[in-house]
Amino acid sequence: MSKRNTQQRRHTIITLLNELGEVSVENLAREFQTSEVTIRKDLATLEASGLLLRRYGGAVPVPQEIVSDDPAHKVSKRKRAIGRAAAALIGDHQRIIIDSGRTTAAMIPQLGSKRGLVVMTNSLNGANAIRELENEPTLLMTGGTWDPHSESFQGQVAEQVLRSYDFDQLFIGADGIDVSRGTTTFNELIGLSKVMAEVAREVVVMVESNKVGRKIPNLELPWEKIGVLITDDGLSGEATAQIEIHGVRVIRASSQS
């Protein structure tokens, strides 16, 4: 089915949801004469965009208290803007790594129109979201030891798996940005991040602007390893200039669109 038809179907799903107050996967599949797998992917994408909430066997509208413009909602808008900007850097048939994290995960729903992607991740949540995409990529998992702090797989096994491949791009988050040094983290398990950067031709860091200037001791990736920093439009011009001095391309995504 074409991208346009997919968009029309999803628009109609939202219309039906607003009219009925609840929709089921079974009835939607019958309505659109498509598979339940396709409908589940539609609902997953719409949920990631904040347009509905999935429930067992279907979906319901987003409660009004969540829709309201509270600080948590604003953070979500920034993450989605960063995710859209990151997805715009990816072409068809690219081989990419998506590191674990909520900001990097915001990019995944935007990849549904890409064709022939090969995606490696160390995140179970990320892997599940990738499986819901319209054009499902070839999915690779690092394996390794589960780290509950970062909610990702880490360790030597994961590093060995990564070294068996080469990738076009790595998309990775950070706990903080030191404008003089690079990305910083509270997590002392930084070995996998370094290997990810080694096996990718371009490293793209995705981080909200409020993390720039955080005082965190552990340096994760120095600026010389990073090609692009994607953040939101809250980053100041002064901080942008300080980062660009290191040869890093800075993209400030607008959260208003």
Residues 6+ apart with CB under 8 A from 128: none
Radius of gyration for the alpha carbons in the chain, expressed in angstroms and rounded: 19
* pTM, to two decimals: 0.75
For the chain, 257 residues long, the average pLDDT of each consecutive 10-residue run is 75 91 93 92 82 86 58 66 96 97 92 94 91 87 87 92 96 95 85 95 96 89 97 95 97 84
Structural domains of the chain sorted by starting position, each given as residue range(s) with its CATH number in brackets: 3-67 (1.10.10.10), 71-253 (3.40.50.1360)
Tell me which amino acid residue 37 is.
Answer: V
DSSP-derived letter for residue 186 is: S
Distance (Å, whole) CA 92 – CA 60: 33
